[in-house]
Amino acid sequence: MKKIKVKSISLFTSFFFMVALLFQPTISLAMTLDELIAAAQKEGEVNTYWHSSRMGKKVAKAFEEKFGVKVNATKMKDSEMTERIVREVTSGNVIVDLVGYDDGPFLDTVLTPKGMVENYVPPYVAKDIPADSSNPLIYLWQPFVIGYNSEAYGNSCPVKSLWQLTEKDWSGRFHMWDPRIASSMLQMFSAMEDRSDELAASYKKHYGKDLKITEANAGLEFVKRLAKNNPVLYNEDYEIAVAVGTKGQSKPPIGIYSLGRHRENAKKNLALALCDVEPFKGLNQPTYMQIVKGSPNPNAARLLAYYVLTQEGANPWVGVVGAYSSNSSLGSSPDNPYPSAEAWKGTLLVSNNTNVAKRRQALMDFWIKYSN
Amino acid sequence: MFFSNLINQNSLLIRLKIRLSRLLLEPSFLIGSALVVILSYLVIAPIVSIFSNSVSLTMMDAMLSGSKDGEFTYKYIDRVFTSSISEKIFWTPLMNSLTVSFFATLIALTLGLILASLVTSTDIFGRKYLGFLLIIPYMLPSQAMATAWLTMFKNRKISGPPGMLESFGINPPDWLAYGPLPISICMALSYFPFAFLLFSSSLSKIDMQLEEVASTFGAKTKAIWSKIILPLLIPTTMSVLLLTVARTLGTFATPYILGTPAKYNLLSTSLYSSVRSNESGVVAVLAIVLSLIGIMLLLVDIWVVRKWQRFVTVGGKGIKRKPSKLGIFRTPTTIFAWIIFLLAAFGPFVVLALSTLMREPGNFSFSNFGLAYWTGVDVPGMDQPGIFTSPEVITALKNSFLIAGSASIICGVLGLLIGYAVVRLPGTLISGFLRQISFLPYLMPGLAFAAAYLSLFAVSRGPIPALYGSLSLLILVMVVTYLPYASRSGISAMMQVGPEPEEAGMVLGAGFWRRIISILAPLQKSAFVIAIILPFITGMKELSLVVMLVTPGTELLTTQSIRFLDFGYTQLANGTILIIGVVVMISVLILNRVTKTNLASGLGG
């Protein structure tokens, strides 16, 4: 008897909540920002796995000073993050609260459908976040660009077409993330398959003849030729940026890394510059922000999620060159070549999560097979 | 009927009683059985889980393909042995691994034997210091040697800041900078101290009477060595061979740092890439292959031990071998020994230290040197804390001490217990089982073992709660992985103490504990110290085993140095590696002082 009563009451309340949500879609669980802050402070800390070290280096400090909530941040590549999220949720021993995660395909096809993460769009900023970035929530767009050393090569990039990177002259001189560790590279390959016509056209434009294709499409052809051309692989783009940008080299390599590395030109005495290369200058990488199911500090996680979508919290990324917040009301650094992520238009590849999910194993094996 | 029944029952009871009293008289049986139960769970369970992982669909793949998690599949076996990528992920790495292991072991064994003979038995200059100095490389994490090599020899193949030779105008060729040669050399230089330690210990334990008898009959030093000492060293040589081969097969930091730029993959790096790309099925298959190689080595060991039986080589009298005179070879051998020390221990230390003291790499002007990276005051990188002011370093230091410390003590105790049970129960199932099972973890690559532990102990099982994210998981996995060190040293130490002293004690009416405390403990003091120190040293510098298991808050010094590298704090990373080296060295010195045993001169003291 009692049980039924409880059940009917909870049904009743949830009905009310639903009605309330219908009328006030921006207020989740009827918590005001002040209430959220208080709840977060009660929890006292929040654990994050983040794609960028700036969470630990910058945001953590500012957040703790402002709200008195400690942020434990660990920088992690997406493959490790995936492993840990799945591991923690399935073991019921969840340590992490909030993740800044690059592997959209895995999120869309596994983590979200399996309910391993919770999509939380902070209601206090929800109106400024475009619908296509809301579910799952993208908090940051980062151009991963092809860059070169401007000290050695001057004002123009030594390659005009991506296809040149598959020439002998650039053998062992293209530096990139290891596709086995960074899903971004698989996302790029998949997006290249999606836009293989443009790759083929660019080949014709550069070499004046048609591309001879031995694979299913020009995108795969490019990936194969690139893999066979002995690219140098890294775990962290910090290393790529240093390899490319260090001054005093006579024949420095070209690399793909996040545009944000350009902010370190002065500090680390590098000469990184953006390559104006056809048909794509790189990849526009969305970073998703999700609360992990069963998170021990959900309110602190929500507060932090909100914070990095405000100007102050986003500044470590958007205040310098190399990233755009999904919050359209926030500005971006004047050092960026374009004022917004959209303004790059077609020059950056954007992958389709469903396509990547379908092709990732095949693309990975394809890559391993041809890389030497 | 009734009576005969009664008598039968009675005799059964009596027999049981006798059995029981025998068991109680023979605590080695109780200890042995308890160990069998504990080790079966801690060692066999992960191995079983690896086997089952190799043929069942992983959670990730099940999720991606929509099948059931754990479904039976040949997918991963196909992938490793016959698929289009099998050559890349298995066959080539296998050949590379065998090549590198062969050369590294050969060099390590030769260096260890030569240096141990020189230091224990000759009048080489500075033998007292060499005994300690030559084991320093063992105290540095293996990534120290590799990083230092790279700092020295790196060329334009991987760009970035110039290597040291490069900044002097010399361009090292690729084969010197990356690939099999530097990997073999770095591994050999990292692992020869182990051979050196074991050989020194055996050499100082060989019964002097044998040599005395030989020289009384007029045998020359050369003949004594070739006919008596070297043959007596064969079991030790086998142990060294086994341990070094297994170790080199499982190391990943060195091939990772020096092999990756040349795309020179070993099984360990291939395994590591599979771990990092979440292919646990492939990880399991590769781990099984590595383990099978290990088991083959184990079988050889069993054969050798059976052939040579056991060596009761500890003499009753504590006579020390008189150092033989080297004559004209004294100076060249001295130079040789010191060069090895400079290359293997001093070199990496200096290179790493320099990198933390120079504000700008490659600039040797006086004004470029400073302590900024250590104190955190006026650091060139601006937003970077100093090594001494970084809270992460402090936490990691504490964790490293706690984890490696407790693991090594537990290990040492377990090692001696295993030694006792194995040697005092000769020919029994328990003895054979314990001997082999305690050595099994050595043959499992650390990465695979860690993966197995992660999947085994992430959730609560029976009386054991979910250990993921706790220090105890790290301690547990270290205890089991380092058990071979401890049990080997425990077994060999116990073997060299014949049962006579204990029997004498028994005759005089000494109980089990009395015998342990008054007879065995003093005899085994140094074995116990070694059984603790070796795991401690290894634990302090362990990376591959723990890198997957650490969580924020349980970082160790080694994993923290990797995190620092991820952050681009090269100097912090190198400084952390230096701290590991210094901490280990100090601990060894303190232990030497406290126990009054000299690790370097083996068990002679």
How far apart (Å, rounded) are the C-alpha atoms in residues B565 and B551? 17
Contacts of A37 (CB under 8 A, 6+ apart): A67, A303
Tokens of B120: 């224990």
Q: What local confidence, expressed as pLDDT, does residue B310 receive?
A: 55
Q: How far apart are CA B420 and CA A321, in angstroms?
A: 66
Question: How far is it, in rounded angstroms, from Cα A328 to Cα A128?
Answer: 5
Answer whether A79 touches B (CB < 8 Å): yes
Q: What is the mean pLDDT of residues B28-44?
A: 85
Lowest mean pLDDT among A253-257, B278-282, B465-469, B500-504: B465-469
Q: Which domain holds residue A4?
A: 1-25
CATH of B76-315, picked from 1.10.3720.10, 3.40.1030.10, 1.20.1440.20, 1.10.274.10, is 1.10.3720.10
Residues of A in contact with B563 (CB under 8 A): 74-75
pLDDT tens track for B503-544: 788 788 777 778 777 877 777 777 777 778 778 888 888 887
Q: By three-state DSSP, how is residue A323 classified?
A: coil
Given this model, what pLDDT does residue A33 score? 92
Judge whether residue B188 has pLDDT over 90. Answer: yes
pLDDT tens digits for B380-413? 654 567 778 788 888 899 999 999 999 989 988 8
Residues of B in contact with A239 (CB under 8 A): 160
Let me know: does B84 contact A224? Beta carbons within 8 Å.
no
* A276 lies in the same domain as A323: no
CB atoms within 10 A of CB B503: 11
Q: Tell me the C-alpha to C-alpha distance, in Å, between residue A101 and each of A132, A258, B587, B591.
A: 17, 15, 41, 46
Residue A342 lies in a domain: no
Whether A355 maps to a domain, the answer reads: yes
Would you say residue A153 lies in a domain? Answer: yes
Q: Using an 8 Å Cβ cutoff, are B291 and B444 in contact?
A: yes
Hey, are the CB atoms on A93 and B458 less than 8 Å from each other? yes
Looking at residue B457, its pLDDT comes to 75
pLDDT of A24: 43
For B544-584, write each residue's pLDDT tens digit.
788 778 877 788 998 888 777 666 677 788 888 888 888 88
Question: Residue with structure tokens 């390959």?
Answer: A189
CA separation for the pair B265, B249 (Å, rounded):
12
Residue among B160, B263, B454 minimizing CB distance to A242 = B160
Which residue is closest to A264 within chain B, CA to CA? Answer: B381
Residues A248 and A323 in one domain: no
Tokens of A363: 């693309």
- Pick among B87, B277, B395 to test the A interface (most A CBs inside 10 A): B277
Cβ of A74 within 8 Å of Cβ of B563? The answer is yes
How many other CB atoms are found less than 10 A from the CB of residue A221? 22
Tell which CATH architecture fits domain B25-73+401-554.
Orthogonal Bundle (1.10)
**From its phi and psi, is residue A363 left (phi > 0), alpha (psi between -120 and 50) or beta?**
alpha
Q: Are B372 and B379 in contact (CB under 8 A)?
A: yes
CB-based contact A348:A340 (threshold 8 Å):
no
Nearest-CB residue to A87 (from B260, B381, B458): B458
- Per the prediction, chain A carries an average pLDDT of 88
Chain B residue with CA closest to A372: the answer is: B263
Q: How far is CA B417 from the centre of its chain?
A: 19
Kindly provide the b/e burial profile for residues B458-476, where b requires at least 16 CB atoms within 10 angstroms of the residue's own CB. bbeeeeeeebbbbbebbbb
**What residues of chain A lie within 8 A of the CB of B261, using their CB?**
232
The DSSP secondary structure of A108-173, one letter per residue, reads: IIIITTTT-EE----TTTGGGS-GGGBTTBEEEEEEEEEEEEHHHHTTS-S-SBGGGGGSGGGTT-
pLDDT tens per residue, range B332-369: 888 888 888 888 888 888 888 887 887 766 666 777 77
B90 falls in which pLDDT band (50, 70, 90)?
very high
Does any domain span residue A270? yes
- Residue A116 CA to residue B46 CA, distance in Å, equals 27
Taking a C-beta distance cutoff of 8 angstroms, is the pair A290, A99 a contact? yes
Q: How many CB atoms lie within 10 A of CB B601?
A: 20
Under an 8 A CB cutoff, do A246 and B161 touch?
A: yes
Strands A282-292, A138-149: pairing kind: antiparallel
Q: A235 in a domain, yes or no?
A: yes
Looking at residue A3, its pLDDT comes to: 46
Say whether B83 and A252 touch across the interface (CB within 8 A): no
Peptide bond into A279 cis (omega under 30): yes
Residues whose CB falls within 8 Å of the CB of residue B344, separated by 6 or more in sequence, listed in order: B134, B136, B137, B145, B189, B190, B192, B193
Among residues 58-77 of chain A, which lie with CB inside 8 Å of chain B? Answer: 58, 72-75, 77
Q: Which of B89, B157, B277 has its CB closest to that of A79?
A: B277
Q: Specify the pairing of strand A70-75 against strand A45-50.
A: parallel
CA distance B271 to A284: 31
Chain B's closest residue to A251, CA to CA, is B156
pLDDT per residue as tens digits for the range B99-127? 999 999 999 999 999 998 888 888 888 88
Q: How confident is the model at residue A66 (pLDDT cuts 50, 70, 90)?
A: very high
Q: How far apart are CA A52 and CA A60, in angstroms?
A: 12
Q: How many CA atoms lie within 13 A of A320 on its CB side?
A: 13
Question: Which of B159, B174, B472 has the most A C-beta neighbours within 10 Å, making it the best mutation to test the interface with A?
Answer: B159
Instruction: Tell me how far CA of residue A335 lies from CA of A260, A283, A323, A348, in angstroms.
Output: 10, 18, 11, 18
Does the structure show a pLDDT above 70 at A291?
Answer: yes
Rounded to a whole number of angstroms, the distance from the CA of B504 to the nearest CA of chain A is: 55
With a CB cutoff of 8 Å and minimum separation 6, the contacts of B436 are B298, B302
Which CATH number does the domain housing residue A63 bear?
A: 3.40.190.10
Helix (H) or strand (E) holding A365: helix A353-370
- When computed from its CA atoms, the radius of gyration of chain B, rounded to whole angstroms, is 26
B125 touches chain A (CB under 8 A): no
Hey, are the CB atoms on B454 and A233 less than 8 Å from each other? no
A167 and A251 both lie in a single domain? yes
What's CA B482's distance to the chain center, in Å? 7
Summarised one tens digit per residue, pLDDT across range B289-337 is: 887 887 787 777 777 767 765 554 544 445 566 677 777 788 888 888 8
Number of domains in chain A: 3
A348 vs A337: CA distance, rounded Å = 12
Cβ contact B321:B202 at 8 Å: no
Distance between CA atoms of A353 and B32, rounded to whole angstroms?
57
Q: For residue B489, what pLDDT is reported?
A: 77
Q: What average pLDDT does the segment A136-140 reach?
A: 95
Residue ranges of the domains in chain B?
25-73+401-554, 76-315
Q: How confident is the model at residue A27 (pLDDT cuts 50, 70, 90)?
A: very low
| Residue A79 to residue B60, Cβ atoms within 8 A | no
Among the partner-chain residues B83, B84, B552, the one whose CB lies closest to the CB of A47 is B552
CA atoms of A105 and A110, how far apart (whole Å): 8
CB atoms within 10 A of CB B360: 11
CB A169 within 8 A of CB A253: no
For residue B375 the two structure tokens come to 């104190």
Higher pLDDT, B60 or A326: A326
Does residue A180 form part of some domain?
A: yes
- For residue B164, what pLDDT is reported? 72
SS3 of A118, please? strand
pTM of the model: 0.75
Confidence of residue A53 (pLDDT cuts 50, 70, 90): confident
- Is B276–A239 a contact, with Cβ atoms under 8 angstroms apart? no
Rounded to whole angstroms, what are the CA distances from B30 to B25, B34, B420, B435? 10, 6, 11, 16
Does the distance separating the beta carbons of B469 and A93 come in below 8 Å?
Answer: yes
d(Cα A260, Cα B281) in Å, to the nearest integer? 36
Same structural domain for residues A353 and A213? yes
A7 vs A12: CA distance, rounded Å = 8
Q: Is B513 exposed, middle or buried (0-12, 13-18, 19+ CB in 10 A)?
A: exposed
A233: left (phi over 0), alpha (psi -120 to 50) or beta: beta
Do the chains contact at A369 and B263, CB–CB below 8 Å?
no
> What type of residue sits at position A44?
G
Going by pLDDT thresholds of 50, 70 and 90, the confidence category of residue A187 is very high
Both A225 and A363 in one domain: the answer is yes
* A81 and A210 together in one domain: no
CA dihedral B396, B401, B407, B408 (to 10 degrees): 140
How near does any CA of chain A get to the CA of B344, in Å?
27
**Alpha-carbon gap, residue B333 to B329, rounded angstroms:** 6
Q: Is residue B200's pLDDT more than 60?
A: yes
The closest of B601, B580, B533 to B129, measured between CA atoms, is B601
Same domain, A315 and A251: no
